[in-house]
Amino acid sequence: MSVDEPLILVVDDNEMNRDMLSRRLERQGYRSLLAEDGVQAVELLAAHRFDLVLLDIMMPRLNGYQVLEHIKQDAVLRHIPVIMISAVDDLDSVVKCVEMGAEDYLFKPFNPILLKARINASLEKKRLRDRERHFLAASALPPAVAERVQRGETVAEMFAEVTALVARVSGLDDLTPDEAAHRLDEALAACHTLAAQHAVYGVEIPGGVYLAVSGVPEARADHAAVTAALAHAMLQTIHAQPGLALHIGVHTGAVVGAVIGSGGAPHYAVWGEAVTVADRLSLAASAGTIQMSPAASEQLD
């Protein structure tokens, strides 16, 4: 059997049930590991990457509810689908497990066809969720925002005080289109690298403009000082490239940060007073200078 086949954890204190499930899973092309109680299940979950858990409820030491709670509270494990299995036909138990995050619920004795269908459906959902997480990780979403989106949260919030920087690149008009595109790409890439080094959220804007905002998606007290340091680092870096210059505007104020792009690739967008004023200041800034608003200056020593 290939290691690429899904790996399923079977948790049941009854040895006969474990062996029966293991044989059925093997016939269906799945790999499986067996746990005789909840404590052993937790140990195996920490040591292996499972694609699905078949979890009995009534067990010694740790019962199925406790193991399910452990899985769903763990940032690494919570994405593993869990199918609860029980000999007790109890609607309250079914509701409780679903509310705790279980993918499905099966009663003993198993109908082999139904068991196979439930397992296949749960694994297919996991494949789709894994694909979505991979897509989000490769998107323009900051890691902290991508994690929230993966948990199903709607990300749209107000930040009362952040510091925004808008940098405009000039010096491209006398270049050929190919050379201008190459030089602009280098300049914006340098800005993005510096923003990452200063732990500031940054994004390119069409037209040779770079936006950096400190204090999103997570608030920080030193947002103005960090943005000022980033502005100076950008000036020094771009000044070293002959013929190019930056015009930088910096302002401290409020913004909204939200994930948009439901019709295509999602991305994190920031807009509001801080961005608008910083943009206007960048238009007024001379080449190679920083125009900083009084609101931003007051935040600095």
Residue type, 261: G
Are both 106 and 219 inside the same structural domain?
Answer: no
Is 3 or 192 the better-scoring residue by pLDDT?
A: 192
Cα angle 288, 289, 293; round to 5: 155
Looking at the structure, do residues 17 and 117 belong to the same domain, yes or no?
yes
55: CATH: 3.40.50.2300
**CB contact at 8 A, 8 and 126:** no
Mean pLDDT of 137-164: 79
Query: Does residue 25 sit in the same domain as residue 126?
Result: yes
pLDDT in tens, 61-111: 889 899 999 998 887 788 899 998 887 777 788 888 888 888 888 888 878
Contact 233, 246 (CB under 8 A): no
Residues 32, 33, 36, 38: is their CA dihedral positive or negative? negative
- Clarify whether residues 179 and 235 are in a common domain: yes
Say if residue 258's pLDDT is above 70.
yes
| Any domain includes 273 | yes
Using an 8 Å Cβ cutoff, are 60 and 33 in contact?
no
Residues 234 and 98 grouped into a single domain: no
Angle between helical axes of 64-73 and 38-47 (0-180°, round to 10): 30
How sure is the predictor about 125, in pLDDT bands with cuts at 50, 70 and 90? confident
Domain range for residue 221?
A: 151-297
Is residue 41 located within the same domain as residue 121?
A: yes
Whether 2 maps to a domain, the answer reads no
User: Domain for residue 142, yes or no?
Assistant: no
The pLDDT assigned to 224 comes to 94
pLDDT surpasses 90 at 1? no
Instruction: Evaluate whether residue 248 is within a structural domain.
Output: yes
Same domain? 113 vs 234: no
Question: How many CB atoms neighbour CB 136 within 10 A?
Answer: 19
Q: How sure is the predictor about 238, in pLDDT bands with cuts at 50, 70 and 90?
A: confident
Q: Quick one: average pLDDT of 194-221? A: 91
Cis peptide bond upstream of 81, omega within 30: no
In terms of domains, do 54 and 174 share one?
Answer: no
- Give this prediction's pTM: 0.56
Q: Is the peptide bond before 217 cis (omega within 30 degrees of 0)?
A: yes
CATH of the domain at 236: 3.30.70.1230
Render pLDDT for 263-278 as a digit per residue (tens, 0 to 9).
Answer: 566 788 899 999 999 9
255 in a domain, yes or no?
yes
- Position 1 in a domain: no
Q: Is residue 292 a part of any domain in this protein?
A: yes
Q: Which of 107, 137, 167 is the last residue of a domain?
A: 137
Cβ neighbours of residue 26 under 8 Å, at least 6 residues apart? 1, 32
Whether residue 279 is found in the same domain as residue 156 = yes
**Which H or E run contains 106?**
strand 104-107
Choosing from 137, 170, 202, the residue where a domain stops is 137
Same domain, 253 and 293: yes
Please give the tally of structural domains in the chain. Answer: 2
Query: Which domain-ending residue is among 137, 163, 195?
Result: 137
CA-only gyration radius of the chain, Å: 27
Establish if 146 belongs to a structural domain.
no
CA pair distance 254, 201, nearest whole angstrom: 15
Alpha-carbon dihedral sign for residues 230, 233, 237, 239:
positive
Q: What is the DSSP code (8-state) at residue 74? A: S
Tokens (6 digits) for 109: 């004795």
Per the model's pLDDT, the better-predicted residue between 186 and 87 turns out to be 186
End-to-end CA distance of the chain: 65
Residue 162 and residue 42 share a domain? no
Average pLDDT over residues 129-154: 68
- Same domain for 291 and 162: yes
- Estimate to the nearest angstrom the gap between the alpha carbon of 292 and the chain centroid: 33
Q: Contact, 184 vs 172, CB < 8 A?
A: yes
The better pLDDT of the pair 134, 56 is held by: 56
171: helix, strand or coil: coil
Query: With bands split at pLDDT 50, 70 and 90, how would you rate the model's confidence at 137?
Result: very low
